[in-house]
Amino acid sequence: MERYVVATRLKPGAAAAAEALLLAGPPFDPAETGLSGHAAYLSDDSVFLVFEGEDAHASALELAKKHAPEVSRWQDIVWELPSVIADVPPGARCLYRWPADRSK
């Protein structure tokens, strides 16, 4: 299983807008993606998205392309394009997790 984690920094004052977007869930049904897990985390200044499963990296890129209009909603609240990181840092709050019964 592959774990692919991307992060991006929020613009000042954008945490509430990011939280609202993350709480709404992804613009896709994770059960139909081939992923085994998906989660979204928020810190004071960053957003973290976790994709898990066989070929999670390729799946995440394909989902971003397929849902470009939804992804573009983030342009006004983030500073930069997402970057790949090793893991979600301690202290980031989990706002969305699929499947829901997995531990945070």
Domain of residue 20, CATH code: 3.30.70.100
Note the pLDDT of residue 104: 47
Residue 28 φ then ψ, to 5°: -145, 160
Note the pLDDT of residue 100: 78
State the amino acid at position 25 in one-letter form. Answer: G
Note the pLDDT of residue 103: 53
By residue range, what is the domain housing residue 37?
2-98
| 82, 49 Cβ separation under 8 angstroms | yes
| Cα gap 37→18, rounded to integer Å | 21
The residue among 14, 15, 39 whose CA lies nearest residue 99 is 39
Our count of domains for the chain comes to 1
pLDDT in tens, 63-78: 999 999 999 999 999 9
Residue 62 lies in a domain: yes
pLDDT in tens, 2-48: 999 999 999 999 999 999 999 999 999 999 999 999 999 999 999 99
